[in-house]
Structure 1
Amino acid sequence: MLVESIMNTNVPTLPPTATIEEALHLLKKNKIRHIPIVDDENRVIGIVSDRDVRDASPSSLLKDADRKELQNEIQTIMSHPVVTVHPLDFVEEIARIFYEKEFAAVPVVHNDELVGIVTEKHMLHTFIQLTGTHVQSSQIEVKVPHRPGILPEVAQIIGDHNVNIVSVLVYPYLDDPHYKVLVFRVQTMNPMPIIRGIRDAGFKLLWPNNIMEPKL
């Protein structure tokens, strides 16, 4: 999945000479948490968060005469330089930026110009889509040998039951390089026939692992 498919292209911005008060108003008006700071050519030169603005704002208990800090320019509190991503970057790859840098938002830049923004909310929504949890389905986890052809082999068992696969994820199995865990979300609320087929094929079921065959 590409960044351009999840980014928000309607991005409120401010010039570096805007005041903290203007930033505070923009954050509240648009119900956003981050504002890219751009120059006259729409190039990103900084970014401010609602926390930056809040920390730089005086207490609401102070008199108006003591609230001159709100007139300071936004460039005095913005973060820079700014880490950016490209519209054609893979979402799965930029997830590392959010994790390693602990960012909550990243501007998207094309030809040095701001074209969008990706937030942690966008990333979480994408994760939900990739895992298929937004669709009514059942989850099945299978321990398999780490060898070529194993994924279609297990998927064929599901296909033989005429059930759609909503998503597939592959995880490492503990620290054992000889095995993997295949996580399927299948579009059925009765996965028992599939579970029976997986067990009959000799694979170890990790989830659900407490379902026993009914006694006859």
Structure 2
Amino acid sequence: MTKRVVYVSPETTVVTAADIIRDKGLRRLPVIEHDKLVGLITEGTMAEASPSKATSLSIYEMNYLLNKTKVGDIMIKNVLTVSKYANLEDATYIMLQNKVGVLPVVDNDQISGIITDKDVFRAFLKISGYGQAGIRIGLEVPDNPRVLEKNC
């Protein structure tokens, strides 16, 4: 879980949010208002809000529109969250079942962290011992109850 959460308010412009995402190397930002999670903005929601390349608008008109569009106008409002007491397996299951790459961690509607797909990958590598000295043993055995007990 990432505890230092970068976030925006509903009044933040889409252009500013896009700059934050690009500068910080993120893919999504929680939207916080009065210390409470009210939404989520992603690269995808911003792309959907951007004018099509086939638009007849000039670059100046597009920039004007994007500078006037607020995060609160395009954010995902029904955000899945997880309690700060949830374990990683539960969070991962929720993410997989709902096809999302992020779960804000909340306590009394206040965000205390965020779990991303990258956090899950890091945890997997850590618990598997990847990158640490040692030996990994793999066994190919029949899928039967007590097979190890009988053969070892």
Q: Using the alignment, how far apart are the partners of 1:126 and 1:117 within structure 2?
A: 14
Letter in 2 for 1:139: R
1:85-124 equivalent positions in 2, closer than 5 A: 85-124=82-121
Instruction: After TM superposition, give the deviation of residue 32 of structure 1 in Å.
Output: 1.0
Larger-Rg structure = 1
CA distance in 2, matches of 1:84, 1:65: 37
Q: Quick one: which amino acid aligns to residue 83 of structure 1?
A: L
Gaps of 5+ in 2: none
- Contact 1:144–1:179 (CA under 8 A) maintained in structure 2: no
Q: What is the DSSP-based 3-state SS (H/G/I as helix, E as strand, rest coil) of the residue aligned with 1:137?
A: coil
For residues 67 and 202 of structure 1, the distance between their equivalents in structure 2, rounded to whole angstroms, comes to: 70
Output the aligned Cα RMSD: 2.7
Q: Does 1:76 pair with 2:73?
A: yes
Question: Aligned equivalents of 1:144 and 1:56: distance in 2?
Answer: 53
User: Helix, strand or coil for the counterpart of 2:76?
Assistant: coil
Contact 1:52 1:77 (C-alpha < 8 Å) held by counterparts: yes
TM-score for the superposition, normalised by structure 1: 0.60
Displacement after TM superposition at 1:77 (Å): 1.6
Q: How many Å apart are 1:39 and its aligned residue?
A: 1.2
Deviation per residue, 1:148-206 (Å, 9 max, x gap): xxxxxxxxxxxxxxxxxxxxxxxxx3xx5x2578xxxxxxxxxxxxxxxx9xx834xxx
8 Å contact kept, 2:2–2:113 = yes
Counterpart in 2 of 1:29? Answer: 23
1:28 deviates by 1.5
Map of 2:51 onto structure 1: 58
Asked whether the 8 Å contact 1:46–1:79 carries over to 2, the reply is: yes
Corresponding residue of 2:40: 47
Taking the TM superposition and a 5 Å limit, the aligned residue runs for 1:185-200 are none
TM-score (norm 2): 0.83
In the other structure, the counterpart of 1:188 is none
Name 2:124's counterpart in structure 1: 127
Alpha-carbon distance between aligned partners in 1 of 2:64 and 2:133, rounded to the nearest angstrom: 54
Structure 1's 96 and 180: CA in aligned 2 closer, same or farther, altered over 3 A?
farther
Write 1 or 2 for the structure with the bigger share of strand: 1
